[in-house]
Each structure stands twice: as structure tokens, then as C-alpha cells.
Amino acid sequence: MIGEIRELKITNKDFPAMLREIHLPPKKLYVWSSSPSFAKAMEGKHFLSIVGTRRNSAYGEEILRKIIAELKPYGFATVSGMATGIDTIVAEASLKNNIPTIAVLGSGLSKEAFYPARNWKLAEEIVSRGGAVISEYEPDFKATLWSFPQRNRIISGLSPATLVVEAPERSGSLITAKFALDQNRDVFAIPGSPFAANSRGTNKLIKQGAALIESAEDILKAYGIDSGKSDFPGKSDFQNLSPEENKILEILTEPQDIDSLIRKSKMPSYTAQSVIGLLEIRGIIKKLGSDYVRM
């Protein structure tokens, strides 16, 4: 096993300070890392918890990878749950961008108990690259139905804010968002089409007051971090757009297929297709699956 597992009691100076503040904090954590000091390894980092569905869409993956890449220069560390879907993307994108990441398990940390088993290699890479995999359960504890909702309070408790990427109406991610609110933490959500099942939970959170997140710049503003750039990375150049191009962008507030864009633009089909093609070439919009989205 890469690194080693250490038991960290709540009285230990290395125990995360933010986690001590929550209702019913874990009395101890098991921390799998390659650093002798969990606190020192994460010192000075801006923690951001990120959760979402196990059955993410191409849209959810694309925007999440883009946001994490944009956070790279600003000293962030991500926290997620190591499940398939959005959790896995959080870990992979963080590693790709050399951002420390922490995975919180609903099982113990031993290889025999580790869940999901398919992410064991990913966990090893997290540890080898300076991150950590943690659990409040004994190393040989096998995951149960109740252990996942219970661990969600730790995911939200480690960060001042939780970002929900995609979540159906009945989703464990919404449990994490509720824990964040109960812990007096911020909740962020990425909007999506009202016709997409994966966006019903996030859109509902936004209606209830969650901060709407379209780019990393929105997160930086919420954390009080100045990007120091007027042309923040990932922001498209909207200068010198034609009226027709502006019309398409006004319509494209959510993912839409080309037929919907043409119909709503009320332009001749050949004109709308040409405008859409030009916007795509300029990198202002992008096609994900059958839908177009703004970049």
C-alpha cells in the first residue's frame, strides 16, 4: 500500500479544525496519506467540496472539468466521495491539474473493504500525489446503506462551501447540501436544462437560494479571491459579435439541441446553422452529445 493509514482523534492537533465545528463530528478519522501530517499537507488550501450524481451527463463532466482546471492557480483543494460518476471526475480532474484532493469513504480504508473497489487504483494515485483518502470507519468496515449518508456530513464539513454539479430530485448529493446548510456553510449549484432529470435537484437548490455557478470565477468571488485578470481564463471573447450571434447566445441559457436553437432564433435554417457553426469554431459554444452549451 502506498503511504500509510493513521488514526486521527478529534483531540489531535492535525484533526481538521472545520470538522470540529459541525454537529456530531466524528470522534476520530482514519487518514490514508503519504504525508506524516494531514494538517500540514493541506495548510493554506481553499477547500471546496464537490458532489453530484453517479450517472452524470457529458454536460456535467465537461463543465466540472473546466471549472476545476480554472481553479488550478488559486490554491484550492477538492473534497468528494470517491463514488462513480461526479466524485470520480472530481478526483481525476484534480489530479490532472495538480490540485490536492481528499476522498471521504463510506467504507473502511483496507483494500478488502474499500468501496467502490474499481476506484482502488485512483485512491492510490490520490495518496501518491499528496492528497488523502479518509474515513471515520474502522479499516475493515464494509459499506452499508446508512454509512454513505452519514459520511456526507464529513464531505460538507471539511469545506466552507459545497458545489452540487448534477443531482436528480432524490439524490445523496442533496443530503450533502442539506448538511452544508445545517453546518452554516455555503451551497453552490450548476444550473441545467429543466428537461434534464440530473438538473432537477440543482435547479431546485438555486431556486431555494444556492449560488448559481457557471464558471470558476463565480467560486472565486464567493471565496473573496481576486483572479487579478480582466480576461479570466475560460471567459469567451464576446466582442464584435453580430446581432445573429448575440441572438443565439441569448437563447442558449441552458443546453439545447440545434433544432431548438433554430426554432427559437426565428432565423432561416441555413442562417442559424451558419451562425451556430461560427460560434463553435470561435470556442464560444460547444456541442456535448446532441446539445450545444455556452463555454
Q: How many angstroms separate the CA atoms of 253 and 217, rounded?
A: 18
Q: Is the dihedral of CA 139, 5, 18, 212 positive or negative?
A: negative
Could you tell me the pLDDT band of residue 30, with boundaries at 50, 70 and 90?
very high
Half-sphere exposure of 22 (CA within 13 A, CB side): 28
Which CATH number does 243-294 carry? 1.10.10.10
Q: Over 60: is that where the pLDDT of 233 sits?
A: no
The pTM (predicted TM-score) of the whole model is: 0.81
Could you tell me the pLDDT band of residue 232, with boundaries at 50, 70 and 90?
low
Q: How many angstroms separate the CA atoms of 284 and 276, rounded?
A: 10
pLDDT tens, position by position, 254-288 = 888 889 999 999 988 878 887 888 788 677 888 88
Mean of pLDDT values over 8-25: 94
pLDDT tens, position by position, 154-170 = 999 999 999 999 999 88
> Of residues 143 and 291, which shows the higher confidence score?
143
For the chain, the average pLDDT equals: 90
**What pLDDT score does 135 carry?**
98
**What pLDDT score does 252 carry?**
87
Contacts 24+ apart (CB under 8 A), 266-273: 271/244, 272/244, 272/248
Strands 291-294 and 101-104: unpaired
Fold adopted by 4-222: Rossmann fold (3.40.50)
Reading the block at residue 185, the C-alpha cell is: 456553510
pLDDT tens, position by position, 172-220 = 899 999 999 999 999 999 988 888 899 999 999 999 999 999 889 999 9
> Of residues 28 and 232, which shows the higher confidence score?
28
62: buried, middle or exposed (CB in 10 Å: 19+, 13-18, 0-12)?
A: middle
Q: Are 115 and 139 contacting, i.e. CB atoms less than 8 angstroms apart?
A: no
Could you tell me the pLDDT band of residue 62, with boundaries at 50, 70 and 90?
confident
Q: Which residues fall within 8 angstroms of residue 239, CB to CB, at 6 or more apart?
A: none
> Of residues 271 and 75, which shows the higher confidence score?
75
Q: How many angstroms separate the CA atoms of 239 and 111, rounded?
A: 54
Q: Is the dihedral of CA 54, 288, 256, 233 positive or negative?
A: positive
pLDDT tens, position by position, 40-49 = 878 889 999 9
- At position 267, the amino acid (one-letter code) is M
- Domain extents for the chain? 4-222, 243-294
Mean of pLDDT values over 126-136: 96
Which range is least confidently modeled, 99-103, 280-284, 288-292? 280-284
